[in-house]
Structure 1
């Protein structure tokens, strides 16, 4: 009980007097004639939705202290500006407590001497981001930061009712309905660097509204501006309405296409997927299959939101524009098409 109380004190009340550091930097504090050093990898650690990941963290003393010390360890998730977003885990010795969404999914790996690595199982989309590993020795503490990046794809999304119809909270919901979450600025920037060019502004996870432009043009901020991320800045989360930029990760399951000679209505398409032991695929799953599985199908198919789309990895005649991408027929109220299905493994 005493250890449990101490863990709660660490999680709720402890404040570090030392500044935070960027990922991979070596943090140092002096006490008792020794230096406490905390080290994490400088390069990002990569994972995917549903995977397991270890965020490495080690500490040591210079000169080495032979006596065994009662170390406390705290892991926190950070925002992009390095302020704390949420507690993840605290530990004293072999006793630990995980918090919030990490309860039941996070534990310490202490296989090596003076190791304080965090293990997260069943990685979720919202786990993407920076994590602080903090080592506390008595009244002294030091920390370093690990950057966890999920392998994923950013895609723009408009609802069936058209362009610029979503406030922030509706944008969050529609991304979740499509097997995704609202993208962060870093994820949008990465997508832009890989070629994303989209002239409609959309919500991001921090409540800002932005859009990525590779080829400057008049309707997209003007010809004089250099390529980059155009920003409207923070917008009112209830009153202002835009599209959404969603982020989806790699798939664990099986993605496939079904068709009937005469095509299917949306309801028939849903039923066909169910009869195949699957469910009708969501938009985020289609984008992930296109990017990570190389899905290439020049046949349009229904998706769960009522849209009709098809993925092209190898552009060719009669299959849309000359660039790879996911093509859309919008949200037809009538028509008969095939269907994209998804089955979890």
Structure 2
């Protein structure tokens, strides 16, 4: 008796399921697209889609230069009020961290932090969201995001800003492997440099950098470049390359540092004197000459950009003795170009020459370049996924 009462509902449910399935199979394919966010916006939202394009590759300049971060946007359909467009530039400082650079909503504009007075919209016509960065600093190096928002639609693109420069290994007077991450970061800054990125270290290795001691990089990893494998540097039978210890504890573990610097904002020169001096006398001699004792990063930059070549050892600001060689000769420390390092001698009793640094009276803004022209490299406009977003305050 009980089984007879259960049968009718089961039959009804089966008929409903079969009917529903048949309707779904027989529905036109276009109906299944109506639930997708992009189709809904295109058909029902008058603002239309926003499409952002940036130049592939990277843009390159040097410290003190000016550079354009290229970014263009397009609407589908193209009937949007320019006053409702928000343009925002941020710097990607980490995988999930962003630093505000610039934002504009119509005629309202705001520049943030250290970028104030240096960042401006290029304003090269309709659909141009490019910004110009003037007096580029070492800290400007990195990856930038260009975001364009129109009411409920937005899209983003990325631009990589690279600097012409030089990577150099650095350790302190106390010896090798004495720096935690934060100390390494400070040491590079004190020598007119920043911690190098992996890309910068890899490029330096391709250019021949060979260094057997591991050092911190800006991402918190510890690496070192080997061009000529040998047993004392991780075995002779291992291939050349950039050896990687991975990410290390920034506070507890200690290594050297790999620093990066770019074109100096002044000139490094060897101070000609009739006699050699100790460290204190070297400092006074540069001051009397209207300069200061050169930092390590400044000497490397002068070697790279000024082609400073001097076969005379001299004091630097950190108390080390170094000299730059562009054209190697046997009496000047070997067959390879580079900055020779003679260590950290006694500041009071050891006598050497001195390298001084004279700062430019005004910051330069020229000499920038773009590795790939935006007009030549941008492909034709094409759709990309976008995320709905309302325009809010200019922040």
Shorter-chain TM band:
0.7 to 0.9
Equivalent pairs counted in the alignment come to 316
How far off is 1:35 after superposition? 4.7
Residue 161 of structure 2: aligned partner:
148
Describe the shift of the 1:274–1:173 C-alpha distance in structure 2 as closer, same or farther (beyond 3 A). Answer: same
Describe the shift of the 1:69–1:97 C-alpha distance in structure 2 as closer, same or farther (beyond 3 A). Answer: closer
Of 35, 45, 52 in structure 1, the residue corresponding to residue 59 of structure 2 is 45
Residue 359 of structure 2: aligned partner:
344
Quick check: which one's strand share is greater?
1
Moved over 6 A (4+): none
Of 91, 94, 101 in structure 1, the residue corresponding to residue 104 of structure 2 is 91
Residue 257 of structure 2: aligned partner:
244
Cα distance in 1 between the residues matched to 2:107 and 2:284: 50
Contact 1:69 1:137 in 2 (8 A): no
Q: Aligned with 2:331: secondary structure?
A: coil
Cα distance in 2 between the residues matched to 1:68 and 1:151: 36
Describe the superposition over 1:47-99 as per-residue Cα deviations: whole angstroms up to 9, x where unpaired.
21222222111112345337546100111111475x44312121101211122
Mapping of residues 230-269 of structure 1, within 5 Å: 230-269=243-282
Cα distance in 2 between the residues matched to 1:40 and 1:88: 17
TM-score by length of 2: 0.76
Cα distance in 2 between the residues matched to 1:312 and 1:112: 48
Higher relative contact order (CA 8 A, sep 6+): 2
TM-score by length of 1: 0.87
Over aligned residues, Cα RMSD in angstroms?
A: 1.8
| Larger displacement relative to structure 2 (144-153 or 331-340) | 331-340
**Structure (1 or 2) with the larger CA radius of gyration:** 2
Q: Aligned with 1:145: secondary structure?
A: strand
| Larger displacement relative to structure 2 (272-281 or 99-108) | 99-108
Q: Is 1:60 equivalent to 2:74 in the alignment?
A: yes
Cα distance in 2 between the residues matched to 1:44 and 1:277: 39
Describe the superposition over 1:117-166 as per-residue Cα deviations: whole angstroms up to 9, x where unpaired.
12222211111011010000111100111110011111000101111111
Mapping of residues 276-315 of structure 1, within 5 Å: 276-315=289-328
How far off is 1:100 after superposition? 2.4
Mapping of residues 47-196 of structure 1, within 5 Å: 47-62=61-76, 64-65=78-79, 68=82, 70-79=84-93, 81=95, 83-196=96-209
Structure 2 residue runs without a partner (length 5+): 1-37, 361-395
Q: Aligned with 1:290: secondary structure?
A: helix
Cα distance in 1 between the residues matched to 2:160 and 2:166: 18
Q: Is 1:275 equivalent to 2:288 in the alignment?
A: yes
| Larger displacement relative to structure 2 (243-252 or 59-68) | 59-68
Q: Aligned with 1:32: secondary structure?
A: helix
Structure 1 residue runs without a partner (length 5+): 1-28
| Larger displacement relative to structure 2 (249-258 or 196-205) | 249-258
Cα distance in 2 between the residues matched to 1:77 and 1:330: 38
Cα distance in 2 between the residues matched to 1:137 and 1:155: 45
Quick check: which one's helix share is greater?
2
How far off is 1:243 after superposition? 0.5
Cα distance in 2 between the residues matched to 1:145 and 1:90: 16
Cα distance in 2 between the residues matched to 1:73 and 1:320: 54
Contact 2:83 2:107 in 1 (8 A): no
Describe the superposition over 1:224-282 as per-residue Cα deviations: whole angstroms up to 9, x where unpaired.
43221111111111211110101111123122111322211111111111111111100
Contact 1:41 1:146 in 2 (8 A): yes
